[in-house]
Amino acid sequence: MAIPLSARPGLPKDDPESTWIVGVEVDLATALALARASTKAMLELSPLAHREIAAALAHEIDVLEIQRDPLSLAAAQALKQYLPEAA
């Protein structure tokens, strides 16, 4: 499976910079998957963990929404998917 070079589609595949970009994108995808899995696991620990995670997520969403830039708003929207599970 070929990973698209979405950050810089014009770079040739053998360019060292394109390899670095793909590596960064894979690292980011891995970190995000681990964060999602960790959050889901912590939500299952106990009612107290549920409540604390929900409060932390709500706080992060508020902070991101205050920033009002497109990236922060997208991140806030992505975090909201965890709140129904935590309620």
- Map out the domains of the chain as residue ranges: 54-87
Q: What is the pLDDT along the chain (87 residues), one digit of tens a residue?
A: 444 545 556 666 666 677 777 788 888 888 888 988 998 898 888 989 889 988 999 999 999 999 999 989 999 998 888 776 544
Identify the pLDDT of residue 40: 85
Q: How would you label 47-81 residue by residue, b for 16+ Cβ within 10 Å and e otherwise?
A: eeebeebbeebeeebeebeeeeeeeeeebbeebee
Residues listed for the chain: 87
Please report the pLDDT score of residue 60 as a whole number: 93
d(CA 74, CA 69): 9
Is the pTM above the cut of 0.85?
no
The reported pLDDT for the residue numbered 1 is 40
